[in-house]
Structure 1
Amino acid sequence: MTSVGKFIQHNIKAALVLLLLFLSGCSPAPQEFLRLSGMTMGTTYHITVRNPAGEWTEQSLKEALDKRLAAFNQIASTYISNSELSQLNTMPAGEWRQLTPMLFDILVMAVEVSWLSNGAFDVTVGPLVDLWGFGPEKHEGKPSEEALNKALEEVGFDRIELDMADHKIKKGAPLRIDLSAIAKGYGVDAVALWLESLGSTDYLVEIGGEMRVAGLSPRGDQWRIGVESPDLEVDKTTPILLGNIGVATSGDYRNYFEENGVRYSHTIDPRTGRPITHNLASVTVLDPSCAFADAMATAFSVLGGDKTIELAEQLDIPVYLIEKTESGFSSRYSSSFAPYLEQEK
């Protein structure tokens, strides 16, 4: 058996805008490509996919896709009262519960990221996010030390046990698990694998800013995105060329409150229970698994620039950072990210 993890989303995609440059200002996709869009997981999705064997219409593929997304929400959503995750959260501590393979798989990946990041990623951090006023019930003001210590008692990925042989889970405390910081990435992966099972080798799947690409774009070349600077006064976009890979972003520079001249970020460090204080504005992570990239982007947002680069180099993870400085914003990236940067000609 092993222990498992925690974290809540609340990451602002505006902090680092992923521009689908192949769509912006371009002519319609060739007829062999289909474009789908809709709503899921409280956000939007956009898909561009080469029609596998020409067997699908946009309507028929969208109908099949929406059914799969609805089924995924029924497993991992905290907003559906009878979802599998919601039922897990109402389960008493100390009892074992059988999980579906998909939910178990998500939790296994969550705990992996929790351990890799030394607890910077934690799917049980919800009580702390709520305490600081960044949860569903918004409020401002620094909590008392007593309230902070009480909330910390309700948080801890190391108090969840997973039985790897039987796909079972046991909570060592009445923890509330929220998968928002990994579910969209996992959903992207699930859709991508489904498209591949239909025979498609060229696609872009995007849900709420997280995405995964494969093969060639409608233009017949590599998929291309742009990382836009958070500085609204500077029109700067860094182009990135992608192969078969997932992309996730996390950022913090707009969602915060101030009290007595102190800025309190919406990003909470699960280890301390307090908002982060570093100057990392946004981070982009690349990985074949969009779910892993999604979770690591949240972890890196907690760790800050220096520790992110250190861990990314250690694990060979491609990351691109934008940091707030006294004169504006600056960027840096890990060595494994360099090959993805489109060189100016």
Structure 2
Amino acid sequence: MAGAVLRGDEDLLTGRWSGLVVLAGVLSGCGNGDSLERFDGPTMGSRYSIQYVRHSSTPGPKAVQAEVENILAEVDRQFSTYRSDSDTVRFNALPAGRCQVMPGPVLELIRVGEQLSSQSDGSFDLTVEPLLNLWGFGPQAREEKVPSAKALAEVQQRVGHSHLRIDGDQLCKDAAVEVDFNSIAAGYAVDTIAAKLEGQGIQNYLAEVTGELKAAGKKLDGSPWRIALEEPRDDQLVAQKIIAVDGYAVSTSGDYRNYFQQNGRRYSHTFDARTGAPVLHALASVTVIHPSALMADGLSTLLLILGPERGWDYAETHDIGAFFVIRADTGFVTRTNQAFERLAGEKTK
């Protein structure tokens, strides 16, 4: 197996593990002047990569890369929780009862977050950053530890999408909430890049940002873009399932690379906003296929939060293509629904 290994160690804007491997394609031309162009670079504490088939009428890689990096820079300026001048950090610093004019993309993602929060009965929530910091996973975290009941109760008063309100071009808060777009911003970036590529006449491409990806068309040799879903192991890469993707985004969320242990119990960075605590169920990872990278990104996180039973029922009810990896006494077991099989031309290893 070769190709770009899409891996990190933490969440979006500081890097994230994706569980996805892009299998290598043909890098030479086909005799008709076409070529497979590829470039990558750092972004949001992790990496991005672009592959596309170039025809005589499509732009060269330097021009395309400049457009892509402009998009990524703007996404970082709007959504980063690690730079003091971002729109998100400036909003998070506001006290309760204040509003701030926000760019359209930020308001768009707030609305998506509200939808996902409502559909998950509040388990998924964009305002969990105070909880992440409290438990040791956020940008302002001091140490990884189980907080006291008193500290948890205090922080939970500042968590909940109901504390947010959009007023025209302003985002308002009625409590000192802090938003965190880690679960959907990379997917939004991929969708934006894909739209830019298609607007430039590029129809055959694979775009990936911090592990979120979307593929369309074919590779240079006419074969489909193929993605290997990685088995959740720390010691090596093992392709558990290989899927062919055309016109869809793929997102994997997992809870087993960013965690700590205390008193024999394992606490991951995946939070249920209703309880204010990391999830404790047996679902290790979820891969979602969806036409929108934004929605694939958010839904993979939502299903991971809900767990192996509630998450499965949600995916079935909403016809979401999902691939579940569940912990068992003997290792891991997998579960794939019909929607996933319908959307991906899959080959199981």
Q: Could you state the TM-score of these two structures normalised by the residue count of structure 2? A: 0.88
Give, in whole Å, the separation in 2 of the partners of 1:87 and 1:225.
38
Give, in whole Å, the separation in 1 of the partners of 2:137 and 2:180.
14
Give, in whole Å, the separation in 1 of the partners of 2:195 and 2:60.
19
Query: Would you say the 8 A contact 1:280–1:322 is kept in 2?
Result: yes
| Residue aligning to 1:227 | 229
Query: Would you say the 8 A contact 1:11–1:251 is kept in 2?
Result: no
Change (3 A) 1:45 1:265: same
Change (3 A) 1:289 1:235: closer
Shift of 1:93: 2.6
Shift of 1:120: 2.0
| Residue aligning to 1:4 | none
Change (3 A) 1:328 1:11: farther
Query: Would you say the 8 A contact 1:13–1:249 is kept in 2?
Result: no
The CA deviation string for residues 154-183 of structure 1, in whole angstroms up to 9 with x for no partner, is 1111110124xx333211111111111111
| Residue aligning to 2:160 | 156
Shift of 1:84: 1.9
Aligned length: 332
The CA deviation string for residues 15-67 of structure 1, in whole angstroms up to 9 with x for no partner, is x521101x2xx542535332110111221001011236444222232123212
Give, in whole Å, the separation in 1 of the partners of 2:13 and 2:171.
25
Give, in whole Å, the separation in 2 of the partners of 1:54 and 1:162.
43
The one of 306, 310, 313 equivalent to 2:313 is 310
| Residue aligning to 1:242 | 245
| Residue aligning to 1:176 | 178
**56-65 or 236-245, larger mean C-alpha shift:** 56-65
Give, in whole Å, the separation in 1 of the partners of 2:336 and 2:55.
36
Change (3 A) 1:62 1:234: closer
Q: Which amino acid in 2 is paired with 1:308? A: G
Shift of 1:79: 2.0
Query: Would you say the 8 A contact 1:141–1:259 is kept in 2?
Result: yes
The one of 283, 299, 302 equivalent to 2:286 is 283
Give, in whole Å, the separation in 1 of the partners of 2:346 and 2:252.
19
Secondary structure class of the residue paired with 1:342: strand
| Residue aligning to 1:35 | 38
Give, in whole Å, the separation in 2 of the partners of 1:154 and 1:29.
54
Query: Would you say the 8 A contact 1:113–1:292 is kept in 2?
Result: no
Secondary structure class of the residue paired with 1:241: strand
The one of 86, 89, 99 equivalent to 2:89 is 86
Aligned CA RMSD, in angstroms, stands at: 2.3
Give, in whole Å, the separation in 1 of the partners of 2:103 and 2:209.
23
Q: Which amino acid in 2 is paired with 1:263? A: R
Query: Would you say the 8 A contact 2:242–2:348 is kept in 1?
Result: no
1:258 maps to 2:257 = no
Runs of 4+ in structure 1 over 6 Å off = none
Secondary structure class of the residue paired with 2:184: helix
Q: Could you state the TM-score of these two structures normalised by the residue count of structure 1? A: 0.89
Shift of 1:302: 1.0
Give, in whole Å, the separation in 1 of the partners of 2:239 and 2:206.
24
Query: Would you say the 8 A contact 1:36–1:47 is kept in 2?
Result: yes
| Residue aligning to 1:329 | 332
Shift of 1:11: 10
**188-197 or 265-274, larger mean C-alpha shift:** 265-274
Query: Would you say the 8 A contact 1:11–1:298 is kept in 2?
Result: no
Secondary structure class of the residue paired with 2:192: helix
Q: Which amino acid in 1 is paired with 2:110? A: L
Query: Would you say the 8 A contact 1:245–1:286 is kept in 2?
Result: yes
Secondary structure class of the residue paired with 1:192: helix
Query: Would you say the 8 A contact 2:12–2:210 is kept in 1?
Result: no
| Residue aligning to 2:151 | 147
Q: Which amino acid in 2 is paired with 1:38? A: G
Query: Would you say the 8 A contact 2:15–2:47 is kept in 1?
Result: no
1:185 maps to 2:184 = no
Shift of 1:234: 8.9
Give, in whole Å, the separation in 1 of the partners of 2:229 and 2:348.
15
Q: Which has the higher contact order (CA 8 A, sep 6+)?
A: 1
Structure 2: segments with no counterpart, 5+ residues? 1-10
Change (3 A) 1:310 1:161: same
Shift of 1:330: 0.6
1:99 maps to 2:102 = yes
Q: Percent identity?
A: 35
Give, in whole Å, the separation in 2 of the partners of 1:224 and 1:248.
14
Query: Would you say the 8 A contact 2:27–2:36 is kept in 1?
Result: no
Shift of 1:190: 0.5
Shift of 1:128: 1.0
Change (3 A) 1:233 1:198: closer
